[in-house]
Structure 1
Amino acid sequence: MSGIHIHPHDILDEGPSAIMERVGRMDGVRYLLPEMNTIFERNPYPSGVLPHNPVHPVVMGTGTFHTPLRTRELHPRLYQKEDATLSEGADSLAVLLEAVKGTSYEVVPWVNLLNGHFKGDVEANGVFDFRGRPVDHWLCPNGPDVVGMWTEVLAATSERYGCTTFLLDRIRYPDWAGKTVNPSGIFSCFCDRCRAKMDDQGINTDLLQLDMVLIASLLSAKQFDQAVDVMTTSESMQAWVRFKQDNVSEFIEKLTASLAERNPSIVCWLDLWPPSYAWLLGQDYARLTRVSPALKHFPYHKLGGGADVQGLIRYFASTPEEQEHAFRAFQRLFGMSYPITYEQFVRQGFPIEFVSVENDKVRRQSQPGTYIFSGIQMWNLSTEELTQAIGEARRSAADDLLYYCYGWAGEELFDAAGSCKAGENEGG
């Protein structure tokens, strides 16, 4: 059965009855995934207005916690800033849980772990890039307080609300997007803990930083192919990629083990990047799916897989010729060979087969039996494009669909999703 992401403002502004009416027009949605804590994201992204929100035309995510658990009291050394709506008595998770009683819907809270407005000893737990600069609002998987904080928060959530399944998101190192495009955030983390750990594993951090400085200078000089060559052939860069993957995997292994000690009923699903990108951000599908029975990733073909591809290209390249060159190098770095120009990508995104290609990669890289949700883009596209994406996902190796997201989708998209009955688009 499929699912759909829901933001706190959807529940508070529209009410759960409106949500269930629209979602009920779709086909086979069982799981409602309300966001417990926001990231720094414009709703909707990157432009436009919320099409059916009666209160707010646009909502800016501020990285705050939206459930009244008093996170500072749960874990004083590191905690997340509480959202202002909590002081007014708002509790979007409780409202939704009450509304679904007696229905077929199941609520799976959606939690952003390493990205948000955190307080306490942020410096000791934060991410630092290759030039030693803090990456705002990101926690390091090696942070001494990160596993403890989320153990307390998720265990308290389960105890208070009865939820036993959670979708864990932002379980990676920074990418190049966010409030602004910041490619240097990719070259992390060089906090004291990560540097010491790399030294212990025989990774020469001085040589690694020199390679990163070289790549940055090549990109600035528009030598995109040469930058990719260094990225893909440097032994220190490859060791760093493996190091990041090990750190994220160890973080999730420690967290799931810690939660199991507190409450053996708690199950964690994972929200991952498409595999073509995931490796660079520290996500190893094979290892992560040893401790999680289900995952969602987001092969949004019109957006380039959820990555801000246009933002990255335009950060380094200004002329059409430079942008074409950068786009070809981008595809090569991430193992793609779609026969399109950058201009075509800007208009149409990747070809529709991106959806099935990425889903099939997920199946090959994940442990046998992993339940795979294919993320479906549900905004900034036409009903025909949505229908195509649903059909392509159903023809792929994915088990089901998870839509992103309720509040950004126009009325016609709910109806279009409802018209795509399971099995109707298979085998084409």
Structure 2
Amino acid sequence: MSGIHLHPHDMLDEGPAAILELIGTMGPVRYLLPELNTIFERNPYPAGVLPHNPKRGVVQGTGTFHVPLDTKELFPGLYQTVDPSVENGQDPLGLLLEATRETEYEVVPWVNLLNGRFEGNMADNGVVDFRGRTIEHWLCPNGRDVVELWTNVLAAVSDKYGCTTFLLDRLRFPDWAGERVDPSGLFTCFCERCRSGLAARGLEADAVREEMEQVAGLLRDKSYDQAVSLLLGSQTLQAWVGFKQDSVSAFIEKLVASLRRRNPAIVCWLDLWPPSYSWILGQDYTRLTKQSPALKHFPYHKLGGGADVQGLIDSFASEPEESERAFRAFQRLFAMDYPITYESFRRDGFPIEFVGIENDKVRALSQPGTHIFSGVQMWNLTPQELSLALGKARESAADDVLFYCYGWAGRELFEAVGSFPEERSAAQKQP
């Protein structure tokens, strides 16, 4: 059965009754995924307006925790700033759970693990780029206290509300987007723990950094294809990619094991990047899906698969010819071969085939039996485009869909989902 993402401002500004009424027009939605903590983006990134919110037209994530729990008390060494609305008595998760108590909806809290406004011992838990600069608001999966932080927080949420299934998001190293476009976020992490981890693999951190400087120099010189050749052909840089993947997988393995020791009923679903991109951010589908019965990824074709492709290209290229070369190099890096120009991408995104291609890759990479939700973009497109994406998702190897997201979708998009035929593939099942 399908689901939909919700944000704290949805519950606080519109209220659960209005939310359930609008979601009711979609047909059989089973899972509601309320966000426990926000990220530093104007969601959805990079633009979006709230068409049915009675209090505001736009919202900017502030990286804060929206549950009435004192994260500092739960783990003083590393904690997330609690949102001021909580101090004023607001409890968006509690509101939604109360409203759905006598319904068939299942509430699956959605939590961002490694990106937010964190405080405490950031020196032993933060992310450092290849030039020694701290990447703001990011925790390293190799951080000393990150597993213990989230074990304490998620166990406390489960104890307080009775939730036992969580969707884990932001389980990766930084990409190039966020509050601003910064490609150096990709070239991480060089904190002390990561430097030690690289050395344990026979990699000298300074040698890795030197090759990254070569890539950066080629990009500055607008030698985009040569930069991609170095990234893909360097044994050192490919070993660094493997280190990132091992780091993220080990983090999730430790967290899942720690949560099971605390409460064996807790189950973790994963929110991953589409596989064409996920490898460079540290996400290894094959290993990660050994820890989770279900995952969602987001082949949003009109938004470049969730990546700020336009922001990245525009950060390197200013002239049309440069932009086209950079876009071709981008497609080569991520093993894409779509016969489109950069200008057509800016207008229309990737071809609709992107949805099925990425879902089929997820199925091939994931452990047998993994329940795969295809993320479906539900904003900044027409009802016809939404129906086309939904159809491609349902034709693919995915089991069902999760819509992103409630707050930015106009009523006509909810109605488009509701009018879509209910045929499902034989592979579709409940997680």
Which TM-score tier does this pair reach, normalised by the shorter chain? over 0.9
Letter matched to residue 80 of structure 1: Q
Aligned ranges 1:2-401 → 2 under 5 Å? 2-401=2-401
Shift of 1:44: 4.3
Q: Is the alpha carbon distance of 1:48 and 1:275 closer, same or farther for their aligned partners in structure 2, counting shifts above 3 Å?
A: closer
Shift of 1:240: 0.3
Q: 1:56-98, CA deviations, whole angstroms, 9 ceiling, x for partnerless residues?
A: 1111110000001100000000000000101110000000000
Shift of 1:314: 0.2
Instruction: Output the CA distance in 1 between the equivalents of 2:208 and 2:34.
Output: 40
Instruction: Output the CA distance in 2 between the equivalents of 1:310 and 1:422.
Output: 35
Instruction: Output the CA distance in 2 between the equivalents of 1:2 and 1:123.
Output: 41
Q: 1:355-400, CA deviations, whole angstroms, 9 ceiling, x for partnerless residues?
A: 0000000000000000000000000001010000000000000000
Shift of 1:412: 0.4
Instruction: Output the CA distance in 2 between the equivalents of 1:217 and 1:140.
Output: 26
Runs (4+) of structure 1 moved beyond 4 Å? none
Q: Is the alpha carbon distance of 1:76 and 1:424 closer, same or farther for their aligned partners in structure 2, counting shifts above 3 Å?
A: closer
Tell me how many residue pairs correspond in the alignment. 426
Q: 1:334-375, CA deviations, whole angstroms, 9 ceiling, x for partnerless residues?
A: 000000000110110000000000000000000000000000
Letter matched to residue 96 of structure 2: L
Alpha carbons 2:187, 2:212 under 8 Å: kept? yes
Letter matched to residue 384 of structure 2: E
Shift of 1:423: 1.5
Q: 1:86-133, CA deviations, whole angstroms, 9 ceiling, x for partnerless residues?
A: 111000000000000111100000000000000011121000000010
Q: Secondary structure of 2:331's match?
A: helix
Shift of 1:263: 0.3
Unmatched segments (≥5 aa) in structure 2: 427-431
Q: 1:259-284, CA deviations, whole angstroms, 9 ceiling, x for partnerless residues?
A: 00000000000000000000000000
Shift of 1:422: 2.2
TM-score (norm. length: structure 1): 0.98
Q: Secondary structure of 1:114's match?
A: coil
Alpha carbons 2:26, 2:415 under 8 Å: kept? yes
Shift of 1:49: 2.1
Instruction: Output the CA distance in 1 between the equivalents of 2:72 and 2:15.
Output: 29
Shift of 1:47: 2.9
Instruction: Output the CA distance in 2 between the equivalents of 1:256 and 1:220.
Output: 41
Instruction: Output the CA distance in 2 between the equivalents of 1:45 and 1:138.
Output: 18
Alpha carbons 1:355, 1:393 under 8 Å: kept? yes
Identical counterparts, % of pairs: 68
Shift of 1:424: 7.6
Unmatched segments (≥5 aa) in structure 1: none
Instruction: Output the CA distance in 1 between the equivalents of 2:342 and 2:268.
Output: 38
TM-score (norm. length: structure 2): 0.98
Letter matched to residue 280 of structure 1: I
Alpha carbons 2:46, 2:308 under 8 Å: kept? no
Q: Secondary structure of 2:347's match?
A: helix
Alpha carbons 1:27, 1:421 under 8 Å: kept? no
Shift of 1:421: 2.5
Q: 1:277-308, CA deviations, whole angstroms, 9 ceiling, x for partnerless residues?
A: 00000000000000100000000000110000
Instruction: Name the stretch that deviates more: 42-51 or 384-393.
Output: 42-51
Shift of 1:425: 9.8
Q: 1:20-75, CA deviations, whole angstroms, 9 ceiling, x for partnerless residues?
A: 11111113210000000000111343334210000111111100000011000000
Instruction: Output the CA distance in 1 between the equivalents of 2:294 and 2:58.
Output: 32
Letter matched to residue 364 of structure 1: A
Shift of 1:206: 1.8
